[in-house]
Structure 1
Amino acid sequence: MTDTCKVLMIFPLFNANSFWNYKEACDLSGARYPAAPLGLITVAALLPKNWEVRLVNRNTEQLGDDDFDWADIVMTGGMLPQRNDALHIIEMCRAANKPVVIGGPDVTSSPALYAAANFQVLGEAEEIMVDFIEAWRRGEREGVFEAPMGKTDVTKSPLPRFDLLKLDQYLHVGVQFSRGCPFSCEFCDIIELYGRVPRTKTNAQVMAELDALYALGYRGHVDF
């Protein structure tokens, strides 16, 4: 089997009244959306180097039939305020006869709601992607891949694929330094998803991510 694959990554719409959708601040700065999809571009960096990746952010651009025609597989997922559109994306993939992988915080919390997806990736992707890629190469077209909570060594997390972003569309670009949290805020599920012990990247990793953004010409706000 020739090991090539065209991966269409789709970042779902946030609900209009979501905390994550502060449109007025974007209007003032000429941006289309506040934050870039850091999770998806991190997953993209975990894929084989010879796989092609196309990213469409539904909050900033249109998703077309040509995107589905191009793709061998679709990857999507996100947070609770993106659930409605994530489920809609799964329906679109089914209609287009494209296998769809769903991951991220919401499916990890509520996997039963996403049973229509071909694949579920539950937990942190670094622990899962090798198994998923091997399954895909074997010809499997459905499955559930689950990582133990809070066990990922983030010092082994790859440099995100910042090159997939249209950087001028965003108010800020995120750089992740740590995962996990020692606090117990009643509105937040981070401790349930990533544990109570913060796990941190190295200084060298963070500097490499900043250097990568700089090399791409980015001079805007960076959110840690």
Structure 2
Amino acid sequence: MEAFAKGSLPPVPLKAVVRHLLRGCRSCSALLASSFEGLGPARGIEASPESSRAYDEALDRTFSTLRFQQQYHRSEEIRQRRVAALLEAGGGLQALIDRSEISLQGLGVLRALLDRSWAVRHENPQEMVELARFAVRLAGTLNPRWHDEKDAADWQARAWGELGNALRARDDLDEAERAFGTAFSFLLQSSGDLRLKARLHDLHASFLGARRRFDLAFTALDIVH
């Protein structure tokens, strides 16, 4: 029960503990009451066989979904590391496209592109733009099975913001302005992540400075800080 309260149980025993609690164990509920406010001992309500089966089926579906999500994120982390290594080896986006065995889609590739785009901002503004532009394309194709509308909007806002910054670094200020406009449109549809909001306003402040709109740039920085 201590491991359950700390959230350190692996999936299989966690599933068994949740089932046990849902069946109304008074002693275990009492043990957990100090860790979870409002959770008290069961009041002697016995679960019927039908409700027990319903609980079990609901838990099976929930844990199955969690397992698939974990597998998805693990596979995307592997893909991110692989794509990052290829990009760091040189050759830019074209070298990545030439590797036909790599599927250029999904969150892992998107993350790797955004990270590399930022990494080359000083020495290669052209590559920075190319990678960010491809990231924008990928951000619009994230699988809705794993990314709900708000999460997808988060990544589209991030990708468009990074593209706007890359275009600003290359002095394409008109296109950069359009990219930032799209980024903030997606931000309005997003999850409200504060780090994303701060990132976009920070990048936008640099753009506003390049446009010599210093009053607006300072306002954007005030939002960040």
The TM-score range, normalised by the shorter chain, is: under 0.3
Q: Which has the higher contact order (CA 8 A, sep 6+)?
A: 1
Which structure has more strand as a fraction of its residues?
A: 1
Higher-Rg member (1/2): 2
Normalized per residue, the structure richer in helix is 2
TM-score (norm 1): 0.27
